[in-house]
Amino acid sequence: MSRHNHRWNNGPVPDEIAEMGYTRAAQWDKQYGQLDYLNFWIHRLNSLALASFQWDGFPEEIDPLFIERCLLHFGIGGMFNMAGAGEEFDSMPQYAFTQATQAGNLNLYWNPNRVQLTTLNSGTSWFRHAYYWGATKVAGGTVLHEPDCVLAYDTIDRMANASVITTKRYIRMFATRLAAIDDIVDQNMRMQRHPYMFYGPEQSRRDMTNMYARIAGGDDILFLNRGAADMVQFDVLQTMTPYVADKLLVDQRKILNMALDMLGINNTNTEKRERMITDEATANDEDIALMRLSRLRAREQFADNVNKRWGLNVSVKYGDETMLADNESLGDYNRDASGAARVDSDSDGVVGDLGSDEPL
């Protein structure tokens, strides 16, 4: 079978797949489409996470976007001074930021001290300490050493593990659910079509094909000779499947809102047609603000420690200043410029248009 013998939904099927038969090719086409949905949602949520914060004051050799990528994928990273890293690194920039992995026991406060800092492109690694540490001398006694790296965490929880607890993993979890709804919506919409069933002898196949082509083309009147009309019969297959795509897309929006809550991004978690009192409309704001501050505070602590360790002037702020005033409180879409709750003129304490929760 050639891949050109059928019009697939997601582009041509590779020849090696098409040669396995129509059923396998159809499965490949469906799986490819599902993967597109999954990649779309992963890309969208990743982009939102990476754009959430703005960094300033880093040395030019430090890429702030890489810091966000590292925290998104691994939950932890470390910045250190390249001085003393070895002769082969003497010509490199002074500072570097890499992925960090715990390389020893946790300290008294459940924080890793000895860490392995590894570059993602070459696998080169260094061992550093994030806090004061002691080394036993050969002659006896202990020498206290100062920290030689600063760790950055994605959230103040600090329980980063590349295989368990990372924002990237949770984004994929939400993206999988969102993509699953997209696939179900496609199926439900396809089931709304009413397939035509034609009956007739084999010699009438061409007549049946032409008849369907004219029906699909929107012809209001079909002119047939008596012989063709007598030989060909057709019916419409009623699938009796209810249309629920609109409800599924509303549910999808709710799942997306859950993902945005996790990232600390404001969203309108209500259907547009509903009218809610002010307290109901703003009930989710505190949760969003705290999730946002969890990510922001972790980065502020990192910036403060970097400035104390090396005398730099690194700072971080939330990316959208219209939604976070002075990095302290959540901007509220349901309040006017004076900070007062927005209400309808014909109601008492009822918020008007809160935005849309319509399907995406």
Q: Say yes or no to pLDDT of 108 above 80.
A: yes
Using CA atoms of 336, 338, 341, 344 in order, give the dihedral in degrees to the nearest 10.
-60
For residue 92, how far is the Cα from the chain centroid?
34
Please say if the pLDDT value at position 227 is more than 80.
no
CA dist 188 → 86, 92, 245 (Å): 62, 58, 6
Which of 36 and 172 is assigned the larger pLDDT? 172
Element at 198 (helix H, strand E): strand 196-199
3-state per-residue secondary structure call for 296-323: HHHHHHHHHHHHHHHCCCCEEEECCCCC
Q: Which pLDDT score is estimated for 28? A: 62
pLDDT, position 337:
43
Amino acid making up residue 241? T
Please give the pLDDT value at position 345.
38
Give the angle 224-228-230 at the CA atoms, nearest 5°: 110
Structure-token pair, residue 120 = 């993602």
Q: Which is more confidently placed, 66 or 346? A: 66
Predicted local distance difference test score (pLDDT) of residue 241:
79
Least Cα distance to 151 among 123, 118, 170, 129 occurs for: 129
* Residue 291 predicted with pLDDT over 80: yes
pLDDT for 329: 46
Query: What is the band of 267 on the pLDDT scale with cuts at 50, 70, 90?
Result: confident
pLDDT tens by residue, 28-47: 666 666 788 889 999 999 99
Residue 74 C-alpha from the chain's centroid = 15
Kindly report, residue by residue over 311-320, the tens digit of the pLDDT: 999 999 998 6
The domain segmentation of the chain, as residue ranges, is 194-238
For residue 3, CA distances in Å to 9, 29, 31, 103 come to 12, 11, 16, 52
- In this structure, what is the dihedral angle of CA atoms 34, 39, 40, 44, given to the nearest 10 degrees? 150
Q: Going by C-beta distance under 8 Å and a sequence separation of 6 or more, which residues neighbour residue 69?
A: 50
Amino acid in the structure at residue 58: F
